Amino acid sequence: MFMVEMAEVLEFERPEDKLLQRLRTTLASYLDQDRVNDCVRAYQFGAVAHSGQRRKTGEAYICHPVAVAISLAEMRMDADGIMAAILHDVIEDTAVTKKELAAQFNPQVAELVDGVTKLTKIGSKSQAETQAENVRKMFLAMGKDLRVIMVKLADRLHNMQTLGAMPADKKRRICRETLDIYAPIANRLGMNSMRHKLEALSFEEMYPRRHAVLNHAVKKARGNRRKIIDTIENSIKNRLHEAGLVGDVAGREKNLYSIYKKMLHKKISLSDVFDVYAFRIFCDNVDTCYRVLGVMHNLYKPIPGRFKDYIALPKANGYQSLHAILMGPYGLPIEIQIRTHEMHRMSESGIAAHWLYKSEDDKSQKFQDRANEWLRDLLEIQKTAGDSLEFIDNLKIDLFPQEVFVFTPKGSIIKLPRGATIIDFAYAVHTDVGNACVSARIDRQLVPLQTKLENGMTIEVIAAVWARPNPLWLSYVATAKARSSIRNYLKHFKQLEAINLGRRLLEKELQALHTQLDSISEQRLKELLKVTDMPSFDVLLEDIGLGNKMPFLIAKRLLQDDIHANIKLDDGDQSHKTPLVIKGTEGMVINLAKCCRPIPGDSIIGFFNPGKGIVVHHHECRNSNIVRKKHTSWLDVEWSHDAAGDFPAELRIEILNQRGALATIASTISELDSNIENVTVVDQDAHVSVDLITLTVKDRVHLAKIMRRLKELSIVIKITRVKA
């Protein structure tokens, strides 16, 4: 009898039983008994599925998912979320399928578990790609249900708490991923408490010596600061009492990882970080927050430019508070944060507040709406990302925003990360606006597209139907959405351009052979695709447009009796002499050579650059003479009569080396509706300066007019156009 009772005691003392009891107690505090029973049933199912499995710590594997469920229960996660937490590893680590879970519980639980499950058979080339693909899948699942990320963050937290048994290299990899992805996600969703725990655990595991040294130094410094903190805290409380305002005052301790980051990035010592004394004041309502701010400004002088109102303009993750830096006693700076109790709860729980406090008020819905808006942007980005690693790069850009707030002409507020430009703003308004953006006005003044935005600016984007994204934009955009949209447009635009150019080139060659593309039978085209080993006619046209296949050779093959036979070219063959008409605005597959800079009105010649399309040269360019000798790689081209745009041309000017000479040249060029793009001094002595000037012109007539006007200037000795 004694042995049986002893066995029962030992059985109850198993770690998993203790954890289950703790989970049941927590759930009973906010769920009805039927839902608690559902969660217990999920535990029993998971315990059987994970039977015989153990963690590296030695405990039964079921302890891990139950610990994850406890974290979520403390956030008052609903029953389906708790069940998904308990079962989150069964698809990945056991024989249980998603279909079985849906049958045993419900489809929602099965979807949540599947969203958290890693991809086990990705076939990736590297560990980085595997991780990236997992994160990408998780975000797709998050788009359907935000509880996926709640479970994943709780899962990551418990894994970080039990890292001790892992090999050192794996520890560092997990910690790096936590700091790069999961802690910033928690921050982006306003879950500051979760973020601080993840950062603290990662810092301690990645840099144990730095953590130990910093921890010891902070504890030592804390004792010396206590008297000053008490003095300031009492002063604040007394002043609030005198003003008849109610507010709880608390000194705020910076966590070790925040201190470490500040020391690292600002290259300052611990004493400099600890020079700032931080306090939080909690109020009952927003009105009191602003009144408390006024009292604080009367108590201690505010430092100009160090005030931020996140109540009127919340951060993207929903964070709200008033921040001010004041000059306190003994000349010490004081950081004050003023917020309501509700704002503080939201700042700690973030998106979790939707479940934790939704019974008390509906304001938590705003947090969920913001999170969903962010996720929608991310899902749009992932659709256009080339691969999972590109998606992760875009995600990291989006996870570390330091916001600026700007306005549309109608007064709507747009939040963008620090360093964002006009292009980022245009894409934030709408992808189509970004794609068609040509210029903009800030506070009614025209500005370049690369202008960086500052708080309070009002931006008006000027768009044009003919406009398209410029590859150069990628060098200065700051947001993931803009970067992804530009890349996606250029990728597909170049493909479409190449197909259209390939069609034009093939039609030109067929017309010279007295036939038309439309008259070629579909069967003949299929035979051609088989011979050329092309999956579709569009792919063949794209290859022609990119210069990988010669159009007149394809045309000859199409028209000869035996499509499989070698192509025979007659000595007198003139098919490729039919000129291709260009406008100069075709874009990325017809390029104007930089060596001779041809402009409308010039005699020109084009040659195929494999993979890139056609490069157009001036007939007198030295490079064109070399290319012309290669019979199969060049073609005659000519300017269209309606060619329009701004084309670069280069002038070599010898001028008297005297004060203001270059300014006179620039002024004259500007008067004739041209812009100078670049000026290079080639040679200079006390009397003469030889300069190369790159300027934009409409055509040969416009350039000739500019050159005539410059020749009339007394300071100009000689002027010639550079044609390589």
* Buried b / exposed e along 347-363 (16+ C-beta atoms within 10 A): bbbbbbbbbbbeeeeee
Contacts of 398 (CB under 8 A, 6+ apart): 188, 374, 377, 378, 381, 479, 480, 481
Long-range contacts of 28-35, Cβ-Cβ distance < 8 Å, separation of 24 or more: 30/76, 31/79, 35/79
Residue labelled with tokens 């698809």: 91
Q: β-strands 333-340, 277-283: how paired?
A: parallel
Please answer whether residues 547 and 613 qualify as being in contact, where contact means their C-beta atoms are separated by less than 8 angstroms. Answer: yes
Question: In this structure, what token pair is assigned to residue 703?
Answer: 């350039």
Please answer whether residues 412 and 461 qualify as being in contact, where contact means their C-beta atoms are separated by less than 8 angstroms. Answer: no
Question: In this structure, what token pair is assigned to residue 246?
Answer: 């109610």
Check the CA dihedral 596-598-601-605 and report its sign: positive
Q: Report the distance separating Cα 724 and Cα 498, nearest Å.
A: 28
Residue 92 falls in the annotated catalytic set: yes
Q: What is the DSSP string of 379-405?
A: HHHHHH-SSHHHHHHHHHHHHS--EEE
Please answer whether residues 325 and 297 qualify as being in contact, where contact means their C-beta atoms are separated by less than 8 angstroms. Answer: no
Give the active site residue among 59, 78, 93, 620: 93
Q: Identify residue 98 by its one-letter amino acid code.
A: K
**DSSP-derived 3-state class of residue 650:** strand
Angle, to 10 degrees, between the axis of helix 480-512 and the axis of helix 551-559?
Answer: 50
Please answer whether residues 315 and 402 qualify as being in contact, where contact means their C-beta atoms are separated by less than 8 angstroms. Answer: no
Q: Report the distance separating Cα 71 and Cα 85, nearest Å.
A: 10
CB atoms within 10 A of CB 546: 24
Q: Report the distance separating Cα 252 and Cα 236, nearest Å.
A: 14
Give the active site residue among 17, 92, 129, 507: 92
Report the chain's C-alpha Rg in angstroms: 34
Please answer whether residues 580 and 569 qualify as being in contact, where contact means their C-beta atoms are separated by less than 8 angstroms. Answer: no
Please report which helix (H) or strand (E) contains residue 136, including its range: helix 127-144
Please answer whether residues 684 and 690 qualify as being in contact, where contact means their C-beta atoms are separated by less than 8 angstroms. Answer: yes
Please report which helix (H) or strand (E) contains residue 272, including its range: helix 270-273
Distances (CA, A) of 588 to 311, 433, 482, 698, 719: 47, 21, 20, 20, 32
693 pairs with which residues across the strands? 651, 679
Please report which helix (H) or strand (E) contains residue 626, including its range: helix 622-628
Catalytic residues: 92-93
